Amino acid sequence: DQQVKQNSPSLSVQEGRISILNCDYTNSMFDYFLWYKKYPAEGPTFLISISSIKDKNEDGRFTVFLNKSAKHLSLHIVPSQPGDSAVYFCAASASGNQFYFGTGTSLTVIP
């Protein structure tokens, strides 16, 4: 039972444009959400997080939006750069110790 879903396996975006990656979850107890970025042959690295008491968190070119009523979060990357090409995973937690991950979205930024 996949509690965190990323329904788009892949996304292609032109360099300089906005990339929007989406994530849906089913468990209303989740109160902390994270995005990770993964390059081939490397482990995932933390990108940005958001607590359920907020609806937006920004860090440089990366912004995460949370819509609790829709159980939906999104990651916006503006402007997109070729180095952003990677697989992006969203993750959610209710206890702070166990994290549930989505299946990932492979982002390709075209120069």
**Residue 65 found at the interface with another protein (CB under 8 A):** no
State whether residue 8 is helix, strand or coil: coil
Give DSSP secondary structure letters for 9-76: SEEEEETTS-EEEEEEE--TT--EEEEEEE-TTS--EEEEEEETT-SEEEETTEEEEEETTTTEEEEE
From the list 14-22, 57-65, 71-79, 85-93, the region that binds another protein by CB under 8 A is: 85-93
Bridge partners of 108, per DSSP, are: 12
**Residue 45 found at the interface with another protein (CB under 8 A):** yes
> Contact with another protein (CB under 8 A): which of 24, 44, 64, 73?
44
Question: Residues in contact with another protein, total (CB under 8 A)?
Answer: 32
**Residue 31 found at the interface with another protein (CB under 8 A):** yes
Q: Which residues contribute to the site for another protein (CB under 8 A)?
A: 2, 4, 6, 9, 31-32, 34, 36, 41-46, 49, 51-53, 89, 91, 93-104
